[in-house]
Homo-oligomer: A and B are copies of this chain.
């Protein structure tokens, strides 16, 4: 059975989550950075710069810069593809896994708190 969520519930969920994130003042990822992060952690590897750029519909420098930033935060790592050294493989990290899982838990918890 599908997840049932009314429009009003969806908006309240978004509101709660936005407030959470604003108040916690965490690293504060861009929407693009989040899209990249979740793609890396939810979809099957391998992930390349070019592949991510195509999937998101953005240019490659956008991906490179986002990886730079998230790399500094320890959320993601880069490795050269040895079979084709032009490619770069984006890899998950322990810290990134924790970050993503914590994010999912937060959303699920907020959803559970929604009024019926």
Contact = CB atoms under 8 A, between A and B. Distances in A.
A116 B100 CA distance: 20
A94 interface: no
Given A8-B104, A9-B108, A108-B10, A15 B42 contact: yes
Contact of A22 (B5, B12, B56): B56
A98 interface: no
A52 to B, nearest CB: 11
Given A2-B114, A3-B4, A116-B1, A34 B18 contact: yes
30 contacts: A2-B114, A2-B116, A3-B3, A3-B5, A3-B111, A3-B114, A4-B111, A5-B111, A8-B104, A10-B104, A10-B105, A10-B107, A11-B38, A11-B42, A11-B100, A11-B104, A13-B107, A14-B103, A14-B107, A15-B38, A18-B34, A18-B35, A18-B38, A19-B35, A19-B55, A22-B32, A22-B56, A22-B57, A22-B58, A23-B57
